[in-house]
Amino acid sequence: MTLLGHIHTGYWDSVGNPVLALPIGANAAGLPLSVQLAGRPFDEAGLLRVGQLLQRRTSWHLRRPAPVGAGAEVAA
Q: Which residues contact 69 (CB under 8 A, 6 or more apart)?
A: none
3-class DSSP state for residue 66?
coil
**Confidence bin at 1 (pLDDT 50/70/90):** very low
Q: What is residue 44's predicted lDDT score, i.e. its pLDDT?
A: 92
pLDDT in tens, 2-60: 444 556 667 777 888 889 988 888 888 888 888 889 999 889 999 999 999 998 998 88
Which amino acid, one-letter code, is at 4?
Answer: L
Q: Which residues contact 43 (CB under 8 A, 6 or more apart)?
A: 18
Q: Pick from 41, 40, 35: which is nearest to 21 by CA? A: 35
Distance CA 8, CA 11 (A): 7
